[in-house]
Amino acid sequence: MPFCVIKSRTIKIFLAMVVVAVLLTLSFEGGACAQVWFGYSTRLVPVYRVDTTEKQVAISFDAAWGADKTEEILAVLDEYDAGATFFLVGFWVDKYPDMVKAIDEKGIEIGSHSNTHPDMAKISGETLAKELDISTEKIEAITGKEVTLFRPPYGSYNNELINACSQRGLIPIQWDVDSLDWKGLSASDVTTRVMNNVQNGSIILMHNNADNVVQSTRMVLERLINEGYKVTSIGDLVYHSNYSIDRNGVQHSN
């Protein structure tokens, strides 16, 4: 009899944990993040990929250290009628305001990539807030458009960052397909990496100053389009309200 009591209690505890875990995976309508249960604590997770049955993917370019290839990237995007998202660092915006205008005038979405490119998980809350606020203000001052997406440098984040994004109406964005173009890979190798990993709802990470980024962009777009994918901005891919995010960072519509 004692054994049965212990077993019953254990089962009840387990079931209670399952219920809590399910509840914690739900996001609030209009929120920019979702809570996910990890063991005995909750962890806030950004969007890595979007759950969709449509053959739609988003391509993104992080811009921090140069601008000489950016106009050519924009020309390739225009040639293939593809959308994209550029994540800009504040000091890049300061150095290349005309390029920010050019990106915006091409109808390409712009998100924040912080102000000074720090590891966002290793700075104080006050500094973190400034990184978000200053970077978005700089972009909005040039484009006149609200910034709604944020990508943390190095892909580094914590709960404090995700909460700060949510408070500002920013959706934190990661990626599920890393081109590794920053390693100097050939355009062919970049394309192979992307096509081997892409799926419906993927977010592709590239960099505007990578060695072979212009040719890589052309080859990737050509392959994606030939295989039936629609290539858009991240803003056109993600859900902006009434969604949840699972523990793998996949965003689901509720």
pLDDT in tens, 54-113: 999 999 999 999 999 999 999 999 999 999 999 999 999 999 999 999 999 999 999 999
- H or E element at residue 125: helix 125-143
Whole-number pLDDT of residue 39: 45
Q: What is the mean pLDDT of the chain?
A: 89
Whole-number pLDDT of residue 24: 42
Using one digit for the tens of pLDDT, what is the confidence trace for 135-189? 999 999 999 999 999 999 999 999 999 999 999 999 999 999 999 999 999 999 9
Phi, psi torsion values for 112, nearest 5 degrees: -90, 145
Whole-number pLDDT of residue 42: 85
Average pLDDT over residues 113-139: 98
CB atoms within 10 A of CB 196: 8
Q: How many separate helices (H) and strands (E) can be counted in the chain? A: 9, 13
CATH architecture of the domain with range 46-253:
Alpha-Beta Barrel (3.20)
The answer, yes or no, to whether residue 16 has pLDDT greater than 60, is: no
CA torsion, ordered 154, 143, 146, 80, to nearest 10 deg: -70
Whole-number pLDDT of residue 41: 53
* pTM of the full structure: 0.86
Task: With cut-offs at 50, 70 and 90, classify the pLDDT of residue 8.
Answer: low
Domain limits of the chain? 2-43, 46-253
What helix, strand, coil percent values describe the chain, rounded to 5? 45, 20, 35
The answer, yes or no, to whether residue 32 has pLDDT greater than 80, is: no
Whole-number pLDDT of residue 30: 41
The answer, yes or no, to whether residue 116 has pLDDT greater than 80, is: yes
Residue among 29, 30, 108 at smallest CA distance from 71: 108
CA torsion, ordered 128, 131, 134, 137, to nearest 10 deg: -100
Degrees to nearest 5, angle at CA 51 with 151 and 242: 75
